[in-house]
Structure 1
């Protein structure tokens, strides 16, 4: 199948594994699992790998260091594109719970950054001044909420996906 296209498998890079064990590919974890509430039926699930989840958490940690930014608006200008890009890439998988987790993680890292930035303010004053209504915004820049990203799973397209191995003139 690969020879007509001029391709061949590399022994060093090729791994054969069972789909129930799963594998990581381009930041995704692809694995067959049982469907909840459907007895023994199974389906193939795609969700972010542990490595990609760790990388976005590390990026949030790196950006929310105390000395990195002068104002909250600067922090949000750097943090929002990173979160938006990660969510956009993974919005087509099984990720709603992870989006909520990353949103919670980033929110409390920003609150921690604010607490370190203003050490003499107690939490009540900090919330009143910098987090009105528990919304993080400053100078017209608002914190990107990952949990509000809509998850759009791909639908089964089956026979409508063109392949180079089937002929279209079979009528």
Structure 2
């Protein structure tokens, strides 16, 4: 299934001549699957890391253990470092990363629906909190995961547009 913004993300990156990588925790590959469902994605998509377990955030994406210990796996600090790690390790121009709590139970004191999308473009990096509607949280894990992936795709569109002068 192609998430609606996946085609827009691929088109924006292609227009900008940029490549992208992903790093996913709570979505477990949903974001990468959405991107690769778009015809022509191979021109812009370098690949993705799935760092579902906390220790894999360190071993695969290079998030320092001290950051995970201080801020936790579900934090803006971790999200931006996941994105930067994926960008560097996969040799991409830009990257987005997702970390959060799909539910139904809380994690690290964060309720279900807490999601951070991290981004990195080689010059800058950051993280944005994703507002997941209460109805999506109530509907369950799948809805939270789709909301997270949709937010990350929107950030990829923004990163592509910024590179091509559209922002």
Q: Name the TM-score class by shorter chain.
A: under 0.3
- TM-score w.r.t. structure 2 length? 0.26
Larger relative contact order (C-alpha < 8 A, sep ≥ 6)?
2
Structure with the greater alpha carbon radius of gyration: 1
- TM-score w.r.t. structure 1 length? 0.26
- Name the structure with the higher strand share: 2
